[in-house]
Amino acid sequence: MGLLHITEKMSGKMTGMQSLNTSSKTNPFCAKHAKVKGSICEKCYALRQMKRYTNMSQCFERNAEVLTTGIIPDEYLPVINAAFFRFEAFGDLINTNQVINYFNICKKNPHTRFALWTKNPQLIAPVATEKPDNLQIILSSIMVNQSVNNKYPFVDKVFTVYDQATIDKENIKINCGAKQCLTCLKCYTKGETVINEKLK
């Protein structure tokens, strides 16, 4: 019995990757930041997708319910058939219960390298000592052209999006330039701690 919906057919730069997602449409944190002028959330691609594909949105809303309301028994945690796997390609963390479930999925699948994107790291802090070795935590900057100050020792990388004018003016090094994440993998492996992407 599968409690969670795994997204196996991704498109664009996520082609070839698998992910486990919740919905940005029903996440109060996402809704709040989507109203912030100059934020990357204001330009949320995921929110547009949620409105366009209602079946996908419903799956992600169900994932959010399962992940946030209880600790999933080990026998119901998914077995991941992938070398690399993403948490939250479409949403963000809602509570610490969700973090615990993500940690447990990592522990059940030690053969897989996981990466979790979040703008809500304070939800990880209470259980950060339990962070698995096969998980990279990516702190996403909320504002375009403004890297967030990382004060969390459990965060592995900071991810920021810049527009072309700022790239030229401040000589920003863009190192998220692969057409596909699967051929880059900077976010999934140890190494570079600052990841910069050009605004699309």
Domain that holds residue 66: 6-198
- Report if residue 23 sits inside a domain: yes
- Report if residue 81 sits inside a domain: yes
- Report if residue 1 sits inside a domain: no
Please tell me the pTM assigned to this model: 0.92
- Report if residue 161 sits inside a domain: yes
- Report if residue 26 sits inside a domain: yes
3-state secondary structure of 198: strand
For residue 126, give both structure tokens.
């209470």
- Which residues in the chain come in under a pLDDT of 50? 1
CA atoms within 13 A on the CB side of 22: 24
Q: What is the pLDDT of residue 52?
A: 63
Q: What is the pLDDT of residue 27?
A: 82
3-state secondary structure of 199: coil
Q: What is the pLDDT of residue 91?
A: 86
- Report if residue 64 sits inside a domain: yes
User: First and final CA of the chain: distance in angstroms?
Assistant: 39
Q: What is the pLDDT of residue 22?
A: 93
Number of domains in the chain: 1
- Strands ordered across the beta sheet of 157-162: 6-7, 18-20, 84-87, 113-118, 135-140, 157-162, 194-198
- Report if residue 39 sits inside a domain: yes
